[in-house]
Amino acid sequence: MQKNTYARCASLALCVAFTGSATAAQLIPADAVYHNGTVYTVDAVNSVQQALVVRDGRIVFAGSTKAADKYIGPKTQVIDLHGRTLMPGLIDGHMHPVMGGTIELACNLHYAALTREQALTQIQTCLDNDKDTDANSWFNVFTWFRQAMIPKGTDLSRADLDQLKTQRPILVGSSDGHTTLVNSRAIELAGVTDSTPNPSNGEIVHDANGHVTGIFEDGASSLITSHVPQPSAEVAAAINVAGAKAALQAMNRQGVTTFLDAMGNEEDIVAFKSVMDAGGLTARAHFAPMINPDDVTDPAAAALAIKKLADTYDGRTLNALPGITVRNAKLFMDGVIQAPAQTAALLQPYYVNKGTVANPHWVPGTSTGSLYFPQDKLTAVLIELARVGIDPHIHTDGEAAVHVTLNAVEAMRRAFPGKDIRPALAHNETIVSSDYARYKKLNAIPVLSLQWGKPAPDTLDTVRDYIGPERFAYLETAGKFQAAGIRIAYGSDWPVDKLDEWFGIKVGVTRTNRPDQDARFAGRLGDDPGLTAEQALRAITINSAYELHQDAVTGSLEKGKFADLIILDRNPTTIPAEDIENVHVLMTVVGGKVVYRDAAVQF
């Protein structure tokens, strides 16, 4: 029968296409063959193979070493894995890369747990080392881990910053991106007084005497930042490009081959486009420009503004060579759940301590946080986004923000029942149990920062007592989402946290912190069962690919998909779960091209 088939073929190429035989296929040598390893494919059944074959940036075969070696030709690069693990590249479905890369190059507090004195000493050191001595030049400090200040309950204020030996206005950003701390000089230059009203999407914090403390929450930060002199367009562009390059290097070292910039304004897109045009784009770049609450006075116009950016910058077709995609829009429904900010929107009030520190008595207070979009406005803008084919990507921290957003998604589904819109809800730190089923019914994607699901200052010290035991059971519940049959995607939210994807995967499985942390942060967080290693890996590969409409070409190692892959020093599916945080990436490949290689390892 096969002889007859060959006889009917008009050419060798047609024979290969018609028969798909290994014998014929070997006559077209591969660009690269990876063999003698553990190839964890993350396909529908999580199959494990021995080898992978790549040609023209795509996977042409995954299977045994013996079969793969038939694709070796005189110019084929042969990589002997020596038993190491090869798997799909990581897909980070929520981060802020230009900011992350820029912070790597600037003064920052490194997410550390610090005393007041330690924080001020580090900032003073940065000031002393800065060559800019202009008294009117603003000084920025990043990655202040406000919730981890030592001792518990310590906070910084304008009075603390005023002790520093400088006349410069100082702006300190919290690592979660929701709090800005400034000194008195900055407040004066911004024209903020004790009677300045709060904006609709934030708060100016006052002390017991009604004086501004120097803390500005969420949208209130713009009252300060809008007065910071902007560099020239040329200088700003150079800073952003440097940040984009630093971000790509950091991502490639971690094994990230695709990312979503979850607040990617046009300047961010332009920075990555500049890198791309110079041939330096080493990860697939997706962007979600932001829609502010004030923009939805005309929801259709807000959606069309995003569509215009997509028409200008989106690469349309996904190719083996990484490019730029714009098909998401970012909206903030609320802030953060952690004290002292407590700007996340809850259905029932935050708790307050009516006792003492030594003898606490926690009772419901009066504040439930704030929704930045009312239900009708959110529903209207989601419908208009769906109309123009844009996926909403929505910050939903508290259970009220989640609930109202799911209501809007439901209305969007009714308006466009057959349209392939993939709404994402980012963070989902607390939810009501009845809403789990709604995610699945509505095909709404929870994008979880798995690393948050551990005992730490920002879950125990500044959340547990403030939300009460009933809600605490639903804090950072990756395992309960999984048990409800919901597709979980992953987003690091870098630089809210240090970029450490493997630590995040480990926490998603174990619900534990690092072993070197304070003893009070030992053990698991809550009663959530967590994920298996396989489930956590699917979240950061094929599920995040689905979130970004990229699952047909990335997220798993299957024939026809792009060769986005990483080689690891150990197998995260077989090692003890606590060891997953120590996984080391040895090589990162995007579209068949090596974008990172550990120089100390030979293949």
Higher pLDDT, 445 or 218: 445
Query: Which among 385, 401, 322, 330 is positioned nearest to 96, based on CA atoms?
Result: 330
Query: Each residue of 503-555: pLDDT tens digit?
Result: 999 999 999 999 988 899 999 999 999 999 999 999 999 999 999 999 999 99
* Long-range contact pairs involving 233-236 (C-beta distance under 8 Å, separation at least 24): 236/267
pLDDT score of 18 more than 60: no
Mean pLDDT of 241-248: 97
Reading the block at residue 504, the tokens are: 């995040």
Reported confidence tier of residue 104, pLDDT bands at 50, 70, 90: confident
pLDDT score of 7 more than 70: no
- Rounded CA-CA distance 321/313 in Å is 16
pLDDT score of 281 more than 90: yes
pLDDT score of 10 more than 60: no
Query: Each residue of 135-156: pLDDT tens digit?
Result: 999 999 999 989 889 998 899 9
Reading the block at residue 482, the tokens are: 């999984």
Give percent above pLDDT 90 in the chain: 88
CATH number of 97-225: 3.10.310.70
- Rounded CA-CA distance 170/159 in Å is 12
- The ranges assigned to domains in the chain are 97-225
pLDDT score of 312 more than 50: yes
Reported confidence tier of residue 325, pLDDT bands at 50, 70, 90: very high
pLDDT score of 15 more than 90: no
Query: Each residue of 394-445: pLDDT tens digit?
Result: 999 999 999 999 999 999 999 999 999 999 999 999 999 999 999 999 999 9
Average pLDDT, the chain: 93
Question: What is the pLDDT, as a whole number, of residue 27?
Answer: 62
Query: Each residue of 47-85: pLDDT tens digit?
Result: 999 999 999 999 999 999 999 999 999 999 999 999 999
pLDDT score of 21 more than 50: no
Mean pLDDT of 28-42: 97
- Rounded CA-CA distance 459/192 in Å is 32
Question: What is the pLDDT, as a whole number, of residue 218?
Answer: 86
pLDDT score of 176 more than 90: no
Mean pLDDT of 89-110: 94
Query: Each residue of 552-599: pLDDT tens digit?
Result: 999 999 999 999 999 999 999 999 999 999 999 999 999 999 999 999
Q: Are 354 and 364 in contact (CB under 8 A)?
A: no
Buried b (16+ CB within 10 A) or exposed e, 430-451: bbbeebbebbeeeebbbbbbbb
Mean pLDDT of 125-129: 95
Question: What is the pLDDT, as a whole number, of residue 5?
Answer: 30
C-alpha pair distances (Å), 436 with each of 401, 425, 444, 474 = 14, 12, 10, 11
Reported confidence tier of residue 131, pLDDT bands at 50, 70, 90: confident
Question: What is the pLDDT, as a whole number, of residue 407?
Answer: 98
pLDDT score of 20 more than 80: no
Mean pLDDT of 201-228: 94
Question: What is the pLDDT, as a whole number, of residue 16?
Answer: 36
Q: HEC states along 544-577?
A: HHHHCCCCCCCCCCCCCCECCEEEECCCCCCCCH
pLDDT score of 388 more than 70: yes
Mean pLDDT of 303-330: 97
Give percent above pLDDT 70 in the chain: 96
pLDDT score of 12 more than 90: no
- Rounded CA-CA distance 587/603 in Å is 10
Q: Which of 38-42, 116-120, 518-522 has the lowest mean pLDDT?
A: 518-522
Helix (H) / strand (E) element for 602: namely none
pLDDT score of 375 more than 70: yes
DSSP codes of every residue in 266-303: HHHHHHHHHHHHTT---SEEEE--B--GGGGGSHHHHH
Question: What is the pLDDT, as a whole number, of residue 566?
Answer: 98
Query: Each residue of 434-490: pLDDT tens digit?
Result: 999 999 999 999 999 999 999 999 999 999 999 999 999 999 999 999 999 999 999
Helix locations, 147-265, DSSP H: 158-161, 184-190, 222-225, 233-254
Predicted TM-score (pTM) above 0.85: yes
Mean pLDDT of 376-385: 98
Q: Are 572 and 580 in contact (CB under 8 A)?
A: yes
